[in-house]
Amino acid sequence: MKDSTRPVDNMLKSQNPSIRTFELKEECGINNLPNQVMAKAISDGFVFNILCVGETACGKSSLLDSLFNTRLDSTPSTHDIPRVFLRKNTYDLFEREIRLKLTIVETAGFGDQINKDDSFKVIGDFIDSQFQSYLDEELKIKRNISNYHDTRIHVCLYFINPTGHSLKALDLVTMKHLDNKVNIIPIIAKADTISKTELQRFKQNILNELNTAGVKIYRFPTDDETLAEENLKANNLLPMAVVGSNESVKVGNQYVRARQYPWGVVQVENENHCDFKKLRDSLIEKNMLDLIETTHSKHYEMFRRLRLTDLGIADNIDGKNMSISDTLDLKRNELKNELEQREAQLKEAFIQKVKDKELDLKETEKQIHDQLTNIKKQYKDQKDKLDEKWRVLDQEIAYFEQRKRATNMETMKKGTKKK
């Protein structure tokens, strides 16, 4: 087989001269690789995870039911929930021979608390925990990524209440906290409650506030020529105004998902009524794979890099390229040296404490000895005083006895003379 390099290959050679390029003259089966990939993908199935963030009763469940044209499990939330928590449900969806493991995560109690400082932190911590679970699986010695159920959030549908004026402070803070963790697609919920003129003005106000706050929302990719035009139209509709419904209304000769009002019918899939069809097409039909790949290559990669950096693992240290094993060895040696230094410091501190304790004990012993000496001295002084008193008392007793005997003798003499 001769080396028949094409002119376009010169650039490849200049980038990596060790790679030689050949054009095969006969088929050997390489062109069947896409079919193998497709067959494996169909066999393994796909995973897609959606996070729905929005205030209570803003239409999250209805929109999801409309997106997948089915009735998913949902529990209505009340406004008296004391804190924000997340509800997670996983479903196996089948369309022809394609299987999709769909995970829906919905917020409950979001925006209902008086103090909303921690509302967005719960959501951010949940997204990080899914990244951490995937990273833990990656770092296992015996890992099984192919059979691992990937729970990383691929898209966040952020529901904005149709106030018609501007975003709430909670919305801005939450999206700013999440924009580097997940692909955010802002949507205006229950868009049939405001007029078209108010809706266009509301959309522009939202975009202006997001740009001013530096919030980065997901933009549908336009680098693929086959999808560029459709995705550009979808980007121009952001934030998309949607209407969801679980009811079927007869319009003409067919039943459609719609909302029935006294003044008319709002059809969910009618592009003249809302942007629901454009959202579903852009989200599921055209860009689901891009959302999955963006989550892995951008958001998860950033989380992974930060976590490994925190663990002391780096590709380049002091200008020297380091493998993971070399970095781990270096980190292990650093930790060993740090532990040895810490151990030496603890030993020195322990010895110093022992010395200080010995000094304290000696001082205490001296004080006790002095106190004992004083007690002995006081005891001796008191004993000497008592002995002196005892001696004086003995002298007085002896003197008394002497006087007593002398008195008795005088008495006896006087009695003898009288006789």
pLDDT one-digit tens code per residue, 324-382? 667 777 777 888 889 999 999 999 999 999 999 999 999 999 999 999 999 999 999 99
Question: Among 227-241, 289-303, 305-319, 362-376, whose mean pLDDT is lowest?
Answer: 305-319
- Split at pLDDT 50, 70, 90, the class of 4 is very low
Chain length of the chain:
419
Please report the pLDDT score of residue 5 as a whole number: 44
Residues 228 and 374 in one domain: no
pLDDT > 70: what percent of the chain? 89
Does residue 412 form part of some domain?
no
- Split at pLDDT 50, 70, 90, the class of 125 is very high
Query: Is pLDDT larger for residue 291 or for residue 262?
Result: 291
Residues 373 and 276 in one domain: no
Average pLDDT, rounded, for the chain: 85
As a whole number, mean pLDDT of residues 385-405 equals 89
Range of the domain at 164: 33-314
Listed residues 314, 342, 372: the one ending a domain: 314
User: What pTM was computed for the model?
Assistant: 0.71
Phi/psi at 368 (nearest 5 deg)? -65, -40
Listed residues 255, 281, 314: the one ending a domain: 314
- Whole-angstrom CA distances from 145 to 75, 149, 175 are 32, 8, 30
Cα 312 to the chain's mean position, in Å? 20
Please report the pLDDT score of residue 291 as a whole number: 95
Determine contact, residues 205/165, Cβ cutoff 8 Å: yes
pLDDT tens digits, residue range 35-85? 888 888 888 889 999 999 988 878 888 888 888 888 877 666 666 677 888
Determine contact, residues 191/239, Cβ cutoff 8 Å: no
Residues 162 and 277 in one domain: yes
Listed residues 314, 349, 381: the one ending a domain: 314
**Cα–Cα distance between 185 and 159 in angstroms, integer?**
9
Residues 151 and 230 in one domain: yes
Residues 294 and 340 in one domain: no
